[in-house]
Amino acid sequence: MFSAKNTEKEMIFNGIPVSPGIAIGEVFVANLDELSLSDKKIDKGDVEEEIRKFKRALKQTEAELKNIKAKLARDIGEDHARIMDTHLMILDDSTMIKETEDYVRTELGNAAYALDIVLNKTLESFASMDDQYLSERAEDIHDVKRRIIRNLLGQAQEGLKDLRRKAVVVAKNLTPSDTVGFDRKYVQAFVSAIGGSTSHAAIIARSHGIPAVVGLEDFTHKVRPYDNIIVDGITGQVILRPEKSTVKLYEDARRRFAEMEKELLTLKDYPAVTLDGREFELSGNVEAIDELKDVSSHGAKGVGLFRTEYFFITRSSPPSEEVQYRYYKDVVKEMAPECVIFRTLDIGGDKIADWITNVDEANPFMGWRGIRFTLSRKDIFRSQLRAIYRASAHGKLKIMFPMISVIEEVRAAKQICGEVKEDLLKERYKINEDVEIGVMIETPSAVALAPHIAKEVDFFSIGSNDLVQYSLAVDRGNSRISYLYDPLHPVIIRFIQDTVNAAREEGIKVGLCGEMAVSEGALGVLPLIGMGLDEISAPSYLIPEIKKIIRSVTFDETRTLVKKILKFSTPHEVRELLSKYIKEKRSELTEFIPKVALDK
């Protein structure tokens, strides 16, 4: 992601924007220190004392991690706190403990050096795997190792909790334990060398409304403590040691962003209706219950995508039906009278829970994931469906199946829904027997089968992220071919229009819950308006912007744009048409098209 154009004084980097906003400040370098370990041998008579010291360090580390988990639970909810379960499992790993003790006994190595040797072997095996989830687990191991060794060496821990000045936090990676102790009033932004939109840093930044940019490879080799820095969480641009003129430019940009946010929020209670009267439902994409307050405060009506997998991934074992029921019940009660669409467990790909075994796949995104996983683990699927149906007695909800590629999957999933409902009624549970069932349209085969699938379900929800990935055969995590990942490709517009047409033919509703609605500001939203979707679901903080765009155009204009796009063959033609429309007819929308402030 490094694409620096720099002078001696100023360096410009482009990373992945994961939480919007602009920050200008000084750098606080967090956890970049590399521990210098000595391989000094111990005397044979000191072996048992060295091992006792190791065990004391483990207990001290366990206490630290449990404190962090409790703090996370208080600050951002129980779900996020379960992230720490992975750290505690690593700490309790019997193989790690035994191998470290064996090394001390046989090699007479000091415990810190022994642990470093043992865990580095594990980290090396992770490094050979090109997998985002495993990469993030490797960082968890590194974090635990660093803590144990610090405790062995009696070093004071440094972290964000020590920050007592306003600063932009820069790190190679930000783990949950790095961020748990920080005071929001001091942290202006996050910048990390690694991570993606689903990394811990991204999730925590969005939860706290802090601007963040990740994926800045090599950046940490250039930065120094107390450097001046600018972070643009809208475009992903980061400027290190900016010139005065650049600071002035971004101060203006930050002021405009704050004013725009304030102004957009005044639309909170207004409908998402075009100038010629076409109304759209706007709803939020949510991962955890503590995000629900943002849905209504930003003017969304209900939840168009509740990602249930996060509830599973953050645990060391699958949650029971009862635990899930209480969670889903709280969600629907919190959102009542609005509706919540629960996506059933979309695990697999880059979302692997610790309790899943045998998931080593060459192409995990095209492997055992989504509905394929749940249909092969009916015990887990039934448990989740029972919990959701029981929660239906407490509010309005719908059920949605992910990763449908053949119609047999729809029928099999529906059959299990029917069996679950029958069982619950026999057991005298109170449920809503008319819960609507829908599917995500996110594979080319699902688009082609849409006229048939529409006869089987109550609604469609287009998952644009995966639809782009599978339709254009591009792994969006692969930087070498990322230029091919394009939500504005005319093929994608065509597939969405085909899906909408199939839904219309059968009289069912169709929405979109991917990132396309927020890609390139107004450019991404305009075709969605023109294709006549019923609902658009997006991250809550972007709802006001989408609403503003909808309220600034006419349905007829955007429908005409779509008709032209359907005749195009390149994304360039699409962008040119949409940009020309905005420039000539809706110039007020140009402010919603992200653009870097510096283009040197």
Catalytic residue positions?
200, 513
Strand, helix or coil at 179? helix
Judge contact between 187 and 160, C-beta under 8 A. yes
Integer angstrom CA distances of residue 551 from 276, 279, 316, 509, 581 = 9, 9, 46, 21, 16
- Quote the tokens at residue 21: 């906003």
- Quote the tokens at residue 263: 């102004």
Where residue 20 falls (left for φ over 0; alpha for ψ -120 to 50; beta otherwise) is beta
171 CB-near residues (< 8 Å, 6+ apart): 29, 30, 31, 32, 178, 190, 191, 192, 193, 220
Q: How many CA atoms does the CB half-sphere of 285 hold within 13 Å?
A: 20
Integer angstrom CA distances of residue 162 from 30, 182, 192, 211 = 10, 8, 18, 20
Task: Give counts: helices (H), strands (E), the chain.
Answer: 24, 18
| d(C-alpha 191, C-alpha 207), whole Å | 16
Strand, helix or coil at 343? strand
Judge contact between 172 and 199, C-beta under 8 A. no
Judge contact between 487 and 515, C-beta under 8 A. yes
C-beta neighbour count of 208 within 10 angstroms: 16
